[in-house]
Amino acid sequence: MVLHRPEEHAGTSMALIGYARVSTEDQETISQLDELKAAGCRVIFEEKASGASRARPELAKAIAHVQRGDILVVARIDRLARSLSHLLEVIERLEVVGGHFKSLRDPIDTSTPQGKFALQVLGAAAELERALIRERTVAGLKAAKARGRVGGNPALKRRDPEAIAQLSAIRDRQYMADLLASMEAWLPKVRALRPTKSWGSVAKSLGRLGSPDQPWTADRLSRAVRRLVAEGLAEPELINPAPRKPPKDDILLVIAGIKGADPNLSLRAIAARLEDLRIRTPRGGTTWSASSVKALLDRADQAGLVPSSPPQERTSSSKAQ
């Protein structure tokens, strides 16, 4: 939630963007907010979520808010991340857009040489930590196998409802974390194509962009975008229905119906009606020209689909002219 948003980037090329977090609903972020405001943060995002979870919508919004030269500020490093790998991942995402990171109570400010050096030290420590974890995991699996123990969750094997619910929640958090980590790669292209193009067309255009393990499908892409919209991280219009492309005979019927309902409509007015109905042109476009309408209207007339005007109407029309 954005707590404080005056005019952004007014008269300056840099903005301080704050992020405050507590772990439970019972805790308050008041002290963090005071520190961030005192430091000059003009925009502050507040969140109540576990530090171990990477599926944090407000953090994603804060990162997305950062522009070139801006600094994401936290009161303490543990308010942003509980692991070095997550911290470095966030900083890397900021660097992609030319942003920086600063912790008020820690010697880390990536906009300064000293802060960058401290970050390099942390990166080396993180790599060592990952290597040690891998070694301990492999050693533990070997020891368990030697004792005849087989991995697995006993509660899940019993189909315990609570264990299944916990596993489902873990998978959902991981799914959201994956979306947050990859959205910057593929969401801009989705924004450029939706809702003009169908989910299938957009998925085909994306290929493996932001999804190196498997190509996008219409269902998977639709689900991902709908989840981001539900979390407030994407625009609701992205999930609007794509304009339908009816068969040519259906287009003739529609055009004939519009003309029959109001014979005095101009070709441009009919084109506007078709666009309002979100009906695509025979070539798949969304903008109708008067010439396209005339060509189809002539075909509809030849097929006897356009009703003839009553004699009185034609007479009165000619008198009016």
Catalytic residue IDs: 23
Is the distance from CB of 54 to CB of 177 less than 8 angstroms?
yes
**Secondary structure (DSSP) of 110-176:** TTSHHHHHHHHHHHHHHHHHHHHHHHHHHHHHHHHHHTT---S-HHHHTT-HHHHHHHHHHHHHHHH
Please name which of 268, 270, 278, 281 lies closest in space to residue 306, comparing C-alpha atoms.
270
**Token couple for 286:** 């969304």
The rounded distance, in Å, linking the Cα atoms of 90 and 150 is 36
* Residue entry with tokens 């990952």: 130
Q: How far apart are CA 307 and CA 264, in angstroms?
A: 13
